[in-house]
Amino acid sequence: MDLEGLVVEDLLENTKSDKKRVKGKAKGNRTELSLCKLLTKHFGVDFTRSVGSGNRWSQANLSETAKQVFSGDICVPDGFKWVIECKGGYESDMHLENILNGDEGMSRLDEFIQQVTKDADYCGRKPIILWKRNRKPWIAMYREFDLNEVSFDKFMVYGEWRIVNFETLLNGTIREAWYEKTNSSN
């Protein structure tokens, strides 16, 4: 049998990349659900994953109410001041030595900042990035001027952004740092 010119496809090659994509999406969902549980427990009100989390709703012409619901990765309660970008993993993409060695900065972090800032501008809330690495505590990234009345002993600076342990941030702030003042939130 003459096999010259015969092309053989690796059928497993395509399924490997599809599995990785599915695993990444499932991991993102688990990370968002974990964050919702943490926020719900801390604030005593329900936080849920946004419908279509990961979609770019800012490209659609939505009502003001819909903008509040569909902005960010987490659907927040009424009066919550922040739009949340939730990230999990990225261990191989974000290293401190990239900043310290002058390597092209933190391009992945820059992408996250651009994404959450766009969402914040779209819905009129403050941007915050909450990042969970594998087997590590949650980290919060926020602009200094959005919480300028709060200071911490241990934090990092990345441009106008502050990076702190999220639990420290939650425990070191009052409710008004997170919610608009209303008669019902005394």
What domain range is 72 assigned to?
11-185
**pLDDT reading at 121 higher than 70:** yes
* Tokens matching residue 45: 């009100």
pLDDT score at 99: 64
**Look-up: residue for tokens 């005394």?**
186
pLDDT score at 186: 46
Residue 22 lies in a domain: yes
**pLDDT reading at 142 higher than 70:** yes
Cα 117 to Cα 126: distance, rounded to the nearest angstrom: 8
CATH number of the domain encompassing residue 171: 3.40.1350.10
pTM of the model: 0.74
Average pLDDT over residues 1-21: 54
Quote the mean pLDDT of the chain.
78
How many independent structural domains does the chain possess?
1
Residue 169 lies in a domain: yes
Residue 6 lies in a domain: no
Instruction: Write the CA distances from 131 to 91, 112, 140, integer angstroms.
Output: 11, 10, 6
